[in-house]
A and B are shown apart, each in its own frame.
Chain A
Amino acid sequence: MTDKDLPALSIADLQSVLRRREVSPREVIDALQARIEAVDPEIGAYLSLDIEAAGKEAEKSNVDLPLGGVPLAIKDIINVMGQPCTCASKILQNYRATYEATVIRKLRAAGAIPFGKTNLDEFAMGSSTENSAMKVTRNPWDLSRVPGGSSGGSAAAVAADTAFGALGSDTGGSIRQPAALSGVVGVKPTYGRVSRFGLVAFASSLDQVGPLTKTVRDAALIMNAIAGHDSQDSTSLDEPVPDHTARLGEDLSGVRLGLPKEYLIEGIDSQVKAAIDAAVKQMSSLGAEIVEISLPTTEYAIAVYYIVATAEASANLARFDGVRYGYRAENPKDVLDLYGRTREEGFGPEVKRRIILGTYVLSSGYYDAYYLRAQKVRELIRQDLTRAFENVDALISPTSPVPAFKLGERVADPLQMYLADVFTIAANLAGICGITVPCGFADMDGHRLPIGLQLLGKTFDEARILQIAHAYEQSTDWHKARPPLTAAA
Chain B
Amino acid sequence: MARSSDLDVAYIARLARINLTEAETKVFQKQLDDVLKYVEKLRQADLSHVEAAAHALPIFNVFREDEPRDCFTAEQALSNAPRQANGLFIVPKVVE
Using a CB–CB cutoff of 8 Å, the interface residues on chain A facing chain B are 94-96, 98-99, 190-192, 205-206, 231, 234-235, 237, 297, 299-300, 302-304, 306-307, 314, 321-328, 332-341, 343-344, 347, 349, 352-353, 355-357, 359-360, 363, 366, 370, 372-380, 382, 413-415, 418, 428-431, 459
Contacts and interface: CB of A to CB of B under 8 A. Distances in A.
B12 A360 contact: yes
B18 A356 contact: yes
B92 A335 contact: yes
A341 B15 CA distance: 13
B59 A192 contact: yes
A430 B39 CA distance: 19
B56 A341 contact: no
- Consensus secondary structure, chain B interface: loop
Interface residues of B, number: 49
A355 B42 contact: no
A335 B41 contact: no
Given A347-B18, A360-B7, A376 B59 contact: no
A414 B35 contact: yes
A334 B93 contact: yes
Contacts of A299: 41
In the A-B complex, list the 8 residue pairs whose CB atoms are closest, starting with the nearest. Answer: A431-B56, A325-B80, A328-B82, A375-B52, A344-B19, A340-B19, A379-B53, A339-B17
A353 B92 contact: no
A380 to B, nearest CB: 6
B15 A338 contact: no
A370 B79 contact: no
A107 B94 CA distance: 44
Contacts of A376: 45, 47, 50-53
Contacts of B12: 356, 359-360, 363
B80 A205 contact: no
Nearest to B48: A376
Given A234-B62, A356-B28, A357-B32, A307 B47 contact: no
Contacts of A302: 38
Interface string B65-94: 000000010001101111100000101111
A328 B9 contact: no
A324 B89 contact: yes
A335 B89 CA distance: 13
B39 A307 contact: yes
A306 B35 contact: yes
A303 B41 contact: yes
A359 B31 contact: no
Contacts of B45: 297, 300, 373, 376-377, 380
- In the complex, which of the residues A191, A303, A306, A356 has the most CB atoms of chain B within 10 Å of its own CB atom? A356
A375 B15 contact: no
A188 B63 CA distance: 27
Nearest to B76: A98
A355 B94 contact: no
A426 to B, nearest CB: 11
- In the complex, which of the residues B24, B36, B43, B54 has the most CB atoms of chain A within 10 Å of its own CB atom? B36
Given A314-B16, A352-B18, A356-B18, A205 B56 contact: yes
A38 to B, nearest CB: 34
A205 B41 contact: no
B42 A377 contact: yes
12 contacts: A98-B72, A98-B77, A98-B80, A340-B17, A359-B12, A363-B12, A366-B6, A370-B39, A373-B43, A375-B52, A376-B47, A415-B38
A322 to B, nearest CB: 6
A378 B80 CA distance: 38
Contacts of A95: 80
Contacts of B79: 96, 98
Nearest to A350: B31
B52 A372 contact: yes
Given A306-B35, A340-B17, A373-B45, 20 more contacts: A95-B80, A191-B57, A235-B59, A303-B38, A304-B42, A321-B17, A328-B82, A332-B92, A338-B91, A343-B16, A343-B18, A357-B35, A366-B6, A375-B52, A376-B52, A376-B53, A378-B52, A378-B56, A413-B31, A431-B55
